[in-house]
Structure 1
């Protein structure tokens, strides 16, 4: 047996893996939409090739072929056999006709195919058998001039679904039955994914022990995420000074990015999902149940009601970050009254950074609250903290909320009073402009005959009269308006 290989000028072809046995090439091209449609699909990299098994039937959905990168070579093999001497081996001549770089394959699911078939009786008798008849001509006009279509009777209905199948891709989803859960514990909880940013999520209780060291794979992730030694030492120093932190406070004090901090925290601290130190990061080896000083680091969950006086200034954390990127002149005025979204403390000088703030009690820098924390009596020897309130009395958090709400009400009251008085001062010169012009003309006429000290005393007297007569009235009006705005906050 001999083989001969010959090369032709390289020509590029398009490969279409047709899902069927091709007997008639013209009918095969008709199912693909014709040469014109095939050329349009081949000229666009994003289009899918449509395959209609019934090209003349509009009531079916095509099967789609996807384009994939696939290299191939088109070969022409010719076999020659000796007619007289059958024992001689055949000769093979192989020619390379061209190559292809992509292929269209129909690997998606085939959707439902609907045919316009009506059952009609073979004869006029009632017991006659029925046969299926192709009724496409009765369902749609033959051409534009077919006016009789509108008066043609339709003996049967042809109902199609409103929507075909939504997808044509095979999904490898499997339903798994968990036999360990018998349904007796119907408790909703937070599903925490086991990833590097929340590896040690601990549920607070009074029996179990807390983690003392991180997982061995955590330090390897630090090298993968390119965390420098200086950044790691900066966060470690914060945990050495204070054992419990919030994420916002760590970002503010360390000055590193959030992505780097998510890699560093699992190697230094674990996370409480509930309990008195909920949403806090606690240093490995530190047990807040045994340290009375950990009361300063308990969670203070402060939330502002959506009252008419607060919603104008304070937003949710997500909305506040979006507004920070696109600020206007009016937003600049509001930002002077509201704390920065990245500031982790509350000092009473500005409104809280968002409508819900997760703070430590030591982050509320109000002298009255810190004094209340100091005056909590030291527990007796052997005493343990409460599973819900920690080392604090039961009503301690509600008292603190009343103090913070009163502070916020005072801030808003001062802001509205200042805004109202500023508007009145700007309106007075415009209303009394003509009266002041006449008063200036009379003063110039009498200036030569009067003593200079008389006018000085007279101006001082006028200022004193204005303070006595007008100011209390304006303050009373402002206080009534402000009290009406702050009812939702103080209640």
Structure 2
């Protein structure tokens, strides 16, 4: 018979008001034939319930992306947080700063590689949105012309004039071509939201969607549906 592991009982005994180290004792309780490992944390999973304790999941989450009648059906008001955690897997974090990560005069810690093309990632709560790129525009546009990307830069500027907020996938769809070239072109035209209703979106430099009521149409709705029941 194949054994997956041993089940041990560990006791830690320490006397009160004593400076002596604790004493550990172990006891073998048996063998395990099966071991279950969970790669994701379950602490942040919850079930939306109504006032009678019944599940509301099927009422507030569409069962399929093809369910076009879902937005028109009445549903209970249930607004969960945007995210419970920024990561899905457990992380060992000891709440101390690494010795090689000392802060310098700027916001970037020592040891972090500076962004090569000067992309600006901002929070939706900061007071003012960027209006100019971090890099020198004239010298960087000259480098763009040497690389033969002047026409791509002009097309990207025109695209942001027509639509001030876009996702990276939408830009790839409209312009096509290689993705690597946008790494140096996007920071010249737009900045990036990493929080808020426009999270993961690129906005035109000098444009603040928070002051434009028409910018509601560019907000992100992030939802996930359960996979189809194959049983």
The normalised TM-score by structure 2 is 0.47
Larger Rg: 1
> Which of the pair is proportionally richer in helix?
1
The normalised TM-score by structure 1 is 0.23
